[in-house]
Structure formats: C-alpha cells, structure tokens
Amino acid sequence: MSADQYKQPMLPEESLKGKVAIITGGATGLGEAMAMEYARLGANIVIASRKQEKLDEAKKEIETHGTKVKTIQMDVREPDQVENMVSETVAAFGKIDILVNNAAGNFLVKAIDMSTNAWNIVINIVLNGTWYCSQSVAKQMIAQDTPGTILNVGATYAWTGGPLTAHSAAAKAGVDALTKTLAVEWAHHNIRVNMITPGPTEETGAVSQLWASPEQEEQILDNIPAHRLSTRQEVANLASYLVSDYASYVTGANHVIDGGGWLNKGRYNEG
C-alpha cells in the first residue's frame, strides 16, 4: 500500500457543512490537522491556543478551505478564559456544535523527581481544562437546544501505565472516566461525548519531544505491530467521523488508533 493512501480524507465534502467547531490546542499538531479536515468538510472553525503567532499561521492554512476561521488566544486552565472562548464563539457564529478538547501538556520525568508544579501543570491542562471546556460548551449547547458533540483526546498509557509520564497518565485516565460519565449524563440533551486515543503520530510535537533520537523512535516502531506511525490525516479522519452525523448513535466510546501498539504490551524503557 502506498504511503499516500494513509493521507487521504475519509468523509465526503460538506459532511460538516453549517457546523461550528471549537478545537483547543488547534494551532499545531493534531489539533491543526483536525481543524483543517473539519474546514474541508464545511465547518466554521474556532481554534484556541496560548500563542497568537501560531494561531495566525494556522488560520491562514485553514482558511484555504473557504470556511470562516476565528482565533482565540486563551489558556484552558483558566475558567474565565474558557467562558470568554464560548462567548466569543457564539458572538461570531451564533452557536457551537462541536468541541474538541485537544489542548495538552506532557514531558518525561521520573515520578520520584517530579515537582508539585510539574504535576499540577499537566493535570490542570489535560484534566481540568477538558472539564472546564466541556461544561461551559455543554451549557451553551443545552441553551441552544440543538444536538452537540464533544471529542476528547486520550493516551493508551492511561490504562497500561507509562514510565516517566505519571502526571499525564493520571490526567488522561481522568479524561477517559469523564468521557464515559458525561456521555451518560448528557445523552438526554442530545450531546454525544467520545474519545480518540492516537498512538505516536507523524509531524506532531509529542513525537519530536518525547522520542527525539532515531534509536528511541525505532524502539517505539518495534512495539507497533503495524510498524509505522499514524499520519495526521488518519487521526483527523477518525475525529471527523465521530463528530459527524454518521456517528449519531456513538457515545461514551474510546476509539484507539495506534496500529495495535497498546495490544502488543510494548514498554518504553527509560534507557
């Protein structure tokens, strides 16, 4: 199979026509890839991130698909800024149909050496930020009295364990539990809540930061039965399906896209 086949869109154009989607951490990596694909499918896009220059760069790329794009500089750790993100989105587009909780933070550190600040930074971004955004957007969706969908982003080490990622593993495990809980609580509001859990993905910060050397990358590939990294398009395809009407009966699910890596029970060794 040609490598280009892993970079092909899945859903037909206009599958998200008329929808309004917020993607946190949407200026880079998987967030930008999802925003690009949602725009290709016809959605108007709000990308939120802490760095305005990254937002501006991403906006130019996303706008090539012809939909409207709004940037919001904000920090998901701050509830007031989350509320402002929701208000600005509604002011610009009149509603919110889709939220992708993609903002994340992670770095490798031994658990015994981890500072309180290091722990809190990751927990506050990944778990608290997901909760703040989900609750605020859900309130808006309920007020609109229209169907909505929330998509969270996980990590397989949340249930297998991941040496040097105690803070992130704990946070992602919390997001997994939150996904299932909110799916049940909010189903009667016609709000679906799902999760995608990608493995290592090409052209993302996680790969470049966590597995910086060729030797480390090869070790990761050896633990993936498919023996390759996923492409950003493959992850964006799954993310697009789950927020689309094609997945209207799917909620509370965690969809792993990692080439079978977590099933292989591979372990990253400290070195």
Catalytic residues: 157
| Of 67, 50, 63, 72, residue with least CA distance to 16 | 67
User: Which value, to the nearest 10 degrees, does the dihedral of the CA atoms of residues 257, 261, 264, 270 take?
Assistant: -140
Q: How far apart are CA 70 and CA 31, in angstroms?
A: 14
Instruction: Estimate to the nearest angstrom the gap between the alpha carbon of 66 and the chain centroid.
Output: 23
Q: How far apart are CA 153 and CA 172, in angstroms?
A: 8
200: Cβ–Cβ under 8 A, 6 or more apart, which residues? 206, 207, 211, 220, 224, 229, 230, 258, 261
Count the Cβ atoms, other than its own, within 10 Å of residue 6: 16
| Of 214, 129, 194, residue with least CA distance to 168 | 129
For residue 52, give Cα distances in angstroms to 28, 58, 100, 206, 269: 12, 10, 19, 21, 36
- Which amino acid belongs to residue 44? N
| Block residue for tokens 């917020």 | 22
**Phi then psi for 191, rounded to 5 degrees?**
-110, 120
